[in-house]
Amino acid sequence: MAVRVLTLMPIWEWCKKPAIVAAVIVAGFVAGTFDPHLASGSGPDAPTCGRFDYGRDCDLSPTLALILDLVVGASLALFFYYLSRRNQIRLDHIIASQETLRNRRMDYAAQQLKHLFQLTLFTMSVTKRSIAHYNLTVGLHDDEKPRWMQSVTLSELRRDEAKLSRVLQSVRNILTAANDVLDPDVVSRVEGVCNYLGEISVEQQADGMMEFPKYDVCRMKVGYLIELLQTYSRDTRSFKDTVDEPYGTSAVNPEPDLAEEVKR
Amino acid sequence: MALRDDNERNIGGRDYKKAFGQFTSNKTQRITTLKPVEVLLDAQADAGGGVHTIDFNKGDIIIKQSGMYLIIAGPQLGKVRGATPRWIDLWLRVNNIDVPNSNIRAVIIDPQEKTVAIMNSVLPLNRGDTVNIVMAAETIEEGMGLEAIAPDGEPTIPSIIITVVQLD
């Protein structure tokens, strides 16, 4: 038969056990409740003193002391419960208001991002139209005042570009303000589109024509993002990623007949 | 009962296929500026009756499904003149931002040398993201760049072949 060797545990090891700590507290409470009264109640009282009498000739009986302690304990318990309950209600209220605020921020961010990207799409279209107007003036005769028309269209173009950059800045501001409530995937997608659009600017070709580089790709990217932002639900507070179905041919027109410059 | 292929899942009651795409360029692309230049593409391999799960437009590869992607590119490098060893770098760019640690370098010594440098990368990409291959060379004097070659009696050697596969 195996013999178990009992070793003394250090006091601090005992202190780590919650059951031991609870037992010590209960023992202290019981001892503190009964012992003084047993000791004080052991003195000679008047023979007429009853169990619940208390006066000049009658000490507090242990039973009455216990009852008083219980009443005091119960009152304290009720008082602490009231304080705890009040704090809990306050905490619940704070948590609920924070949650409401968070939801409102998320609703606002989703809504605002959708509007801003729709505005981006619109501004890109306007820019494209301005480019088309500008290109119409290239090659005009001097008597048709092409310089004046070009300068007017150019100023419109610059205005549209500035508007686009302001819209993108607003998008970035919303991302900064709401990145703690938005889904990281959504933040990353929005940032990706912002990075892409931020690098795009209207370019003038060698023949004097203006061009919006990668316009189709920009439209597609913004379209995808708007598609995602439109799936936002206030019930679930989430976005639903969509996938084209069935898979069709490309919406972007690849270059159909690039001249083959082949080395033989 | 036939097991569903691992490449297909059923999301929301519809078939979900992992995206893939293979892109090539049959055009020789020489570097004419010292700034980074985007590699252009002009063909996409058709698979499954013209199904394209990834788009492209000139040099932009456009992702249509969010996920983790493996990208492998094999550019055919060469130069026109000069016998000095010259470097040419190629790297990835996502949403107009250069991808860290994706750069590769090849050194071309003379015009007879033809090299295929392999570039590969695994990236998390979102729907709507655009991927570009970007190149830059040490000099613009020697006609460095990607070369498409049409040997007699063989298929054309594209100037670049890019394979994009969705991993998850």
pLDDT in tens, B88-114: 999 999 998 999 999 999 999 999 999
Domain match, A68 and A23 both:
yes
Nearest-CB residue to A254 (from B16, B56, B126)? B56
Instruction: Answer yes or no: are the C-beta atoms of B61 and B162 closer than 8 Å.
Output: yes
In a domain? residue A235: no
Nearest CA in chain B to A223: B128
In a domain? residue A259: no
Q: Are A195 and B95 within 8 A, CB to CB?
A: yes
In a domain? residue B124: yes
In a domain? residue A256: no
User: Hey, is the C-beta of B22 within 8 angstroms of any chain A C-beta?
Assistant: no
| 147-166 in chain B: CB under 8 A from chain A | 147-150, 156
Domain match, A115 and A182 both:
yes
Chain B partners within 8 Å of A220 (Cβ):
55, 62, 128
pLDDT tens, residue order, chain A (264 aa): 455 555 666 777 777 788 888 888 888 877 776 666 565 555 556 777 777 777 777 877 888 888 989 999 999 999 999 999 999 999 999 999 999 999 999 999 999 999 999 999 999 999 998 888 888 888 777 776 778 888 888 888 889 889 999 999 999 999 999 989 998 889 999 999 999 998 888 888 888 888 888 898 899 899 989 988 999 988 888 888 766 544 444 455 544 443 344 444
Domain match, A110 and A212 both:
yes
In a domain? residue A246: no
Nearest-CB residue to A192 (from B17, B26, B126)? B126
Q: In the listed set A57, A73, A95, which residue is the last one of a domain according to the structure?
A: A95
Q: Are B127 and A224 within 8 A, CB to CB?
A: yes
Nearest-CB residue to A195 (from B64, B97, B147)? B97
β-partners of residue B73 are B119, B162
Q: In the listed set A95, A119, A149, which residue is the last one of a domain according to the structure?
A: A95
- Residues B8-46 have pLDDT tens digits of 555 555 566 788 899 999 999 999 999 999 999 988 887
Nearest CA in chain A to B76: A263
Nearest CA in chain B to A257: B42
Nearest CA in chain B to A196: B95
Domain match, A82 and A120 both:
no
Nearest-CB residue to B42 (from A199, A214, A258)? A258
In a domain? residue B11: no
Number of structural domains (chain A) is 2
Domain match, A218 and A118 both:
yes
Q: Mapped to the 3 state alphabet, what secondary structure does B100-114 carry? A: CCCCEEEEECCCCCC
Domain match, A162 and A193 both:
yes
d(CA A75, CA A77): 5
Can you give the residue range of the structural domain that contains A128?
Answer: 102-229
Domain match, A125 and A155 both:
yes
d(CA B21, CA B8): 16
Q: What are phi and psi of B124, to 5 degrees?
A: -80, 125
Give residues with Cβ within 8 angstroms of B134, minimum separation 6: B36, B37, B38, B39, B90, B91, B92, B93, B98
Domain match, A220 and A116 both:
yes
Nearest CA in chain B to A222: B128
Strands B67-78 and B160-166: antiparallel
Identify the pLDDT of residue A25: 84
d(CA B89, CA B160): 14
Q: In the listed set A69, A95, A121, which residue is the last one of a domain according to the structure?
A: A95
Identify the pLDDT of residue A261: 44
Identify the pLDDT of residue A264: 41
Give residues with Cβ within 8 angstroms of A36, minimum separation 6: none
Domain match, A130 and A88 both:
no
Report the candidate in B76, B86, B82 with the shortest Cα–Cα distance to residue B138: B86
Number of structural domains (chain B) is 1
User: Hey, is the C-beta of B62 within 8 angstroms of any chain A C-beta?
Assistant: yes
Interface of A with B (CB under 8 A): 185, 188-189, 192-193, 195-196, 198-200, 214, 216-217, 220-221, 224-225, 228, 241, 243-245, 247-255, 258-264
Q: Are B62 and A245 within 8 A, CB to CB?
A: no
User: Hey, is the C-beta of B26 within 8 angstroms of any chain A C-beta?
Assistant: yes
- Check residue A17 and report its DSSP letter: -
Domain match, A110 and A217 both:
yes
DSSP labels, A119-179:
HHHHHHHHHHHHHHHHHHHTT--GGG-HHHHHHHHHHHHHHHHHHHHHHHHHHHHHHHHHT
Domain match, A224 and A112 both:
yes
Mean residue pLDDT across chain B: 87
d(CA B94, CA B61): 9
Give which of B39, B52, B132, B157 to mutate to test A binding, by max A Cβ within 10 Å: B52
Nearest CA in chain B to A260: B27
Give which of B39, B95, B114 to mutate to test A binding, by max A Cβ within 10 Å: B95
In a domain? residue A252: no
Can you give the residue range of the structural domain that contains B45?
Answer: 26-148+157-166
In a domain? residue A216: yes
Identify the pLDDT of residue A16: 78
Identify the pLDDT of residue A236: 87
User: Hey, is the C-beta of B72 within 8 angstroms of any chain A C-beta?
Assistant: no
In a domain? residue B92: yes
